[in-house]
Structure 1
């Protein structure tokens, strides 16, 4: 059995909401603030990575 890699999303806002994206199987909705220096934030529940569009080419790692 393999583990699915965390999702990476390019967004245009520095404030994002994450709920796991799987309906009832997701997690509680949390609001995350993208660091304006790093350009990304990771969800503490599902490890999804949100990258601001201005940093898409820099923060993809």
Structure 2
């Protein structure tokens, strides 16, 4: 069984909401704050990585 890598989304806000994106199969909505220091944050439920557009070139 192959595990899919977490999704990475480029966003234009430093505060984002994540709900898993799968409707009833997702997870509770959480609000995440992207720190200015490194420009990204990961969702504690689904590991989706949110990268601010100003830091997109540095995020791996």
TM normalised by structure 2 equals 0.97
What is the match of residue 57 of structure 1?
57
Aligned pairs (5 A) from 1:31-50? 31-50=31-50
Return 5+ residue gaps in structure 1 as ranges. Answer: none
What's the Cα RMSD here? Answer: 0.5
Moved segments of 4+, more than 6 Å = none
Provide, for residues 13-34 of structure 1, a one-character-per-residue CA deviation record: whole Å limited to 9, x for no partner: 0000000011111000000000
Return 5+ residue gaps in structure 2 as ranges. Answer: none
Partners of 1:40 and 1:6 lie apart in 2 by 14
**Distance apart, 1:45 and its partner CA:** 0.2
2:29 equivalent to 1:24: no
Aligned residues: 60
